[in-house]
Amino acid sequence: MSLPTKAKVVIVGGGIHGLSTAWKLSETYKNPGDIVVLEKKDTAAGASGIACGVVRNNYFQPAMRELMAHSVSVWESDPKAFKYNAVGYLQISPEVMHADVATIYEQQKAIGYESEFIEGEKDCMNYMKGMFDDWQAKGITSVLHEKKRWICI
Ligand SMILES: Cc1cc2nc3c(=O)[nH]c(=O)nc-3n(C[C@H](O)[C@H](O)[C@H](O)COP(=O)(O)OP(=O)(O)OC[C@H]3O[C@@H](n4cnc5c(N)ncnc54)[C@H](O)[C@@H]3O)c2cc1C
């Protein structure tokens, strides 16, 4: 395939980041050939092609939380086109992770991202049994439940 001799934007890499960037910039650069994506193998030949497809707002960096919340709003804008399948996301943790997960929950609340935080072994067991009646895991002292965030592609 021959490449154009010039373009307004050249993006190297046809993974999720390169293609998302091209998609966003296509709002500005509308003519065919304005944006060129160079991919050495194939679309999503790298990590994007083997990712599990899970979208969660469960990162320790606060900036990621706002980015993911924004991204979810984009996916929710056209679930069919983006194959967005909202089923929820659970972080089920032992005591050693309790404080860190509590921090994530506080940050989710601060940006209005819907989630529920259950604390204490007994309440966690009851909560999980409410979803899975054969739930048995011991030593779980926190459950962070993002109510509807998961993409499966
Ligand atoms: C097993 C696994 C599971 C994962 N699961 C999840 C998940 O559930 N949820 C989640 O959010 N994230 C997940 N991730 C992380 C996520 O997949 C990556 O963060 C994301 O795909 C990175 O996208 P990218 O576009 O930056 O890179 P890539 O997808 O790797 O794209 C880079 C592209 O650049 C091309 N390229 C490289 N060098 C050149 C060159 N010189 N010239 C031209 N092209 C070049 C490559 O061929 C490739 O196609 C997972 C990752 C892995 C490995």
Under the banding of pLDDT at 50, 70 and 90, the label for residue 58 is: confident
Domain boundaries, given as residue ranges, for the chain:
1-51, 53-153
- Percent over 90 (pLDDT), the chain: 61
Query: Closest ligand 1 atom, CA of 53?
Result: 8
Ligand 1 pocket test: which of 3, 21, 23, 39 has the largest number of ligand atoms within 8 Å of its C-beta?
39
Under the banding of pLDDT at 50, 70 and 90, the label for residue 148 is: low
Q: Residue 89: helix, strand or coil by DSSP?
A: strand
Rounded mean pLDDT of 37-46?
A: 94
Res 153 pLDDT > 50: no
Res 134 pLDDT > 70: yes
Q: Model-level pTM? A: 0.76
